[in-house]
Amino acid sequence: MAQRWDAVFVSLAAISLLGMPVAVTGAGLYSPGDQVTILDTDNFDRILYNSSNAWLVEFYASWCGHCINFVPVWKALASDIKEWKPAVSLAVVNCANLKNAKMCRSFEVNAYPTMKFFKAFSKPFFRGKPLDDKDSKSTVSSLRHAIIDHLEQHGEDVWPPACPPLEPASMAEVQNFFVDNNVQYLALIVEEGSSYLGREVILDMLQYENIAVRRVLSSEENLTVTLDVQEIPSCYLYFSNSTHRKVTVKMPTRTFYTYHLRRLPGVTRGAYKLAELNSTHMSTPPPWRDFDSSKIYMADLESALYYSLKVEVGSHQELSGKALTALNQFIGVLTKFFPGRPFVMNLLQITNSWLAEATMAPISNNAYMDVLSNKKGTTGALLPEGVNWVGCQGSRPHFRGYPCSVWTLFHLLTVQAAKYNESMSHKGKTAQTGPQEVLYTLRQYVKYFFGCRACATHFEAMAKESMDHVDSFDKATLWLWSRHNRVNNRLAGALSEDPIFPKLQWPPPDMCAECHSEVEGEHQWITDEVLKFLNVYYSPSNIDYTYLEGEQELLKKQKVREEVQQDREKDGPKQEEEKDEGDEEDEEEERSEETPVRNDKQQETSKAITGIRRDGSQKRTFITGKRMRRGQDDIVDLDTFVNEQYKSQALKDRAEYKRASLMNEGFHRPQLHLQSIDDSESLDYAVFQSRLQKREIGQGYLEAISEVKKQNWLGLLGMSLSRTDISLCVLLYFLTFLCLVSMYLYFRMRFRWWKWKNRFASA
């Protein structure tokens, strides 16, 4: 026994030295948001084998220190080649998870991390080809090159269908390219034979349509002479009329070439076709507004304020507790840092003062909306109604819009807070704000009010991860910028992406070439240049005020809306009374068996009632969350919010349609209820049929009514009996029947026995 306990203690000590927990449950180091597929024994064979794309799989152990250090590299690689997914994908298997131990052993994984490449259409007996040591130098560029090398080892019979050819193009292929390919552009990357630039750009453009990319070796003299190549590497656009032009970028790198090709007119992501299949019911977008992508627009900012304060916050019936505190802080930050027009700022200040004076008692929605609508009539204080997308407009109404504008608002507030702190420092004063004030306020707003709850959850996860480490205003600006790019990266290629404004890493090279660099084949951000760009781009001097209504026009519209609202409130009871009278007249018409004849006075009354109904039903509506700005400002993870708004509106419209169809011209739902026998006997079906035909009710409903009449006798048998009661009755009947049959058989056998006994006695 003593030896057994010694062995246990030795095992525990060994586990402790390795840094592995006693209960090896294998909590993974990756999440689905990391652009990697998480495999285990349940889904490995189903996902990986016979797949039309190749796979690079990392087998790791969550307790392994080297694996933990390798996580950032693998995540960066997954993000770097996310556009390659139709041809090759990344996956991970946690061998520290006990359920995967047997599978890892079958793949002969005895060191971590181990990376294996699986060709497209691999069969279950194939165990993957390990990456050589020279292929896995723990750098993104080396792993990216290794993937390309393994892709090129596919034979023609198992080549991934979505993967374009990676071999160099010849003169004959280029000349005949447009005969067999229906595209607008052919991009030719001229490079040395050892360069990976061309193949990387080919795979980066894999998901984009109306363009094809091929690599041309510098040794292909016919092509290089035709293109008049002067430097290596270089890129040329070749057209169907055999003309060409050189692509001019600041640096001949993968990042600059890829961005330029994606921005060519007519080049869109192929996944957009999937979104179009379900977009036929959506409304036609308003006329396009030309805008300057180097500017931010006050129209977008005011639209973000309207939607966030009146729609999202306004959807809460009551504001209390932490939600009320979050709103108070959000209004306070807007009042302090938002560079709005004077009448907008006046309204924000009024709202901020009202919230500051209010106690922590719950605030009703009506009271809050009255303040935002300036019901007290304070001169020169209002918030423009509705949304007015300019820089945030999208190619379709359901693209961009509010998510884009709210990201723009958030970035503007962080930059303004930094400038406010700097100005206070120059004056020798201490700013009554901290570097995390704006970020924390935005975090609380998203947590309690942002309509897309899944988006809010993602934002909260990013905030918990590193927001507490922000200790300067510049870091606050860069933190929000980097998280915005992270979400853009995660949602690139999703159906919510606008094909005209794809989700790119922002700022793009054509807006800030100095922000980009490349070190050993890996893209690098120059954060100092990024910070300079953000401070200039989100400054008040860069705000464009076109497409805005003036204060006088807005005040006139506000006055008209208030008068209409007051008239409706006064006439409300009267309209309801007249509406009830109209319903009674309709019911009286239903009961009449003669053709209704109306005199002039009745017709005038009917028209008046109809007019009241129509006017009373016209409520002002606003299309929300539809049109967006540049792809660099899309709120990425927040785009699913728009879909939820459309779904909610569609369900509401459908319910309203059903209600209206049932209430049409006095025809009420109670007529569908089962009636007693007496009531059904008194119903004249000939008259009823003629009335239904007046209302164009189909024959199917008449057949249903007839069937109800036939089945009304069931109501008598089952009157005041539940299903349980009826079941018990049936069971009792059955038992009674068995009892009677048993008695019959018993007496019959008894009688035969008695008869046989008498016969035997007489004999």
Q: What is the pLDDT of residue 574?
A: 54
Q: What is the pLDDT of residue 550?
A: 83
Q: How far apart are CA 348 and CA 550, in angstroms?
A: 18
DSSP 608-671: HHHHHHHHHH-------S-----GGG--GGGTHHHHHHHHHHHHHHHHHHHHHHHSGGG--GGG
Residue 318's SS3 state is strand
Facing residues of 543 across strands? 296
Element (H, E) at 204: helix 197-204
Span(s) in the chain for CATH 3.40.30.10: 10-158, 171-270
Q: How far apart are CA 752 and CA 32, in angstroms?
A: 83
Residue 238's SS3 state is strand
Core vs surface per residue 358-396: b (16+ CB within 10 A) or e: beeeebeeeebeebbbbeeeeeebbbbeebbbbbbbbbb
In this predicted model, what pLDDT tens digit does every residue of 461-470 receive, in sequence order?
899 988 999 9
Q: How far apart are CA 537 and CA 484, in angstroms?
A: 16
Q: What is the pLDDT of residue 760?
A: 64
Span(s) in the chain for CATH 1.20.120.310: 296-544
Q: What is the pLDDT of residue 618?
A: 33
What does the block give as tokens for 738? 């068995």
Q: How far apart are CA 112 and CA 339, in angstroms?
A: 54
Core vs surface per residue 113-136: b (16+ CB within 10 A) or e: bbbbbbbbbbeeeeebebbeeebb
67 a catalytic residue: yes
Q: What is the pLDDT of residue 374?
A: 85
Q: Which of 486, 450, 508, 413 is nearest to 636 (CA)?
A: 486
Q: How far is CA 60 from CA 14, 27, 68, 144, in A?
A: 20, 12, 9, 19
In this predicted model, what pLDDT tens digit does every residue of 38-72 receive, in sequence order?
999 999 999 999 999 999 999 998 888 888 889 99
64 a catalytic residue: yes
The single residue of 67, 392, 404, 512 carrying the catalytic annotation is: 67
Core vs surface per residue 230-256: b (16+ CB within 10 A) or e: eeebbbbbbeeeeeeeebebeebbbbb
DSSP 440-489: HHHHHHHHHT-S-HHHHHHHHHHHHHHGGG--SHHHHHHHHHHHHHHHHH
Residue 227's SS3 state is helix
Q: In what order do the strands lie in the sheet with 185-191?
A: 211-217, 185-191, 234-238, 244-246
Q: How far apart are CA 46 and CA 59, in angstroms?
A: 17
Strands (E), 210-293: 211-217, 234-238, 244-246, 268-269
**Topology given in CATH for the domain delimited by 171-270:** Glutaredoxin (3.40.30)
Q: What is the pLDDT of residue 41?
A: 92
Spatial contact of 105 and 97, defined as CB atoms under 8 Å apart: no
Q: What is the pLDDT of residue 581?
A: 52
What type of residue is 446? V
The single-letter DSSP state of residue 311 is: I
Residue 615 CB coordination number (10 Å)? 13
Q: How far apart are CA 561 and CA 555, in angstroms?
A: 10
Q: How far apart are CA 64 and CA 241, in angstroms?
A: 58
Q: Which residues of the chain have pLDDT under 70?
A: 1-27, 133-137, 271-285, 359, 428-432, 561-723, 760-763
What does the block give as tokens for 643? 């879909």
Q: How far is CA 689 from CA 599, 665, 701, 711, in A?
A: 26, 16, 10, 19
Q: How far apart are CA 35 and CA 490, in angstroms?
A: 7
Q: Which of 90, 232, 66 is nearest to 147 (CA)?
A: 90
- For 462, residues 6+ apart whose C-beta sits below 8 A from its C-beta are 483, 486, 487
DSSP 579-610: HHHHHHHHHHHHH--SPP---HHHHHHHHHHH
Spatial contact of 29 and 60, defined as CB atoms under 8 Å apart: yes
What type of residue is 155? G
DSSP 43-88: THHHHHTT-SSEEEEEEE-TT-HHHHHHHHHHHHHHHHTGGGTTTE
**Topology given in CATH for the domain delimited by 296-544:** Four Helix Bundle (Hemerythrin (Met), subunit A) (1.20.120)
Q: What count of residues does the chain have? A: 763
In this predicted model, what pLDDT tens digit does every residue of 343-375 receive, in sequence order?
999 999 999 999 888 767 889 989 999 898 888
What CATH number does the domain located at 10-158 have?
3.40.30.10
Q: What is the CA radius of gyration of the chain?
A: 37
What does the block give as tokens for 645? 């708004």
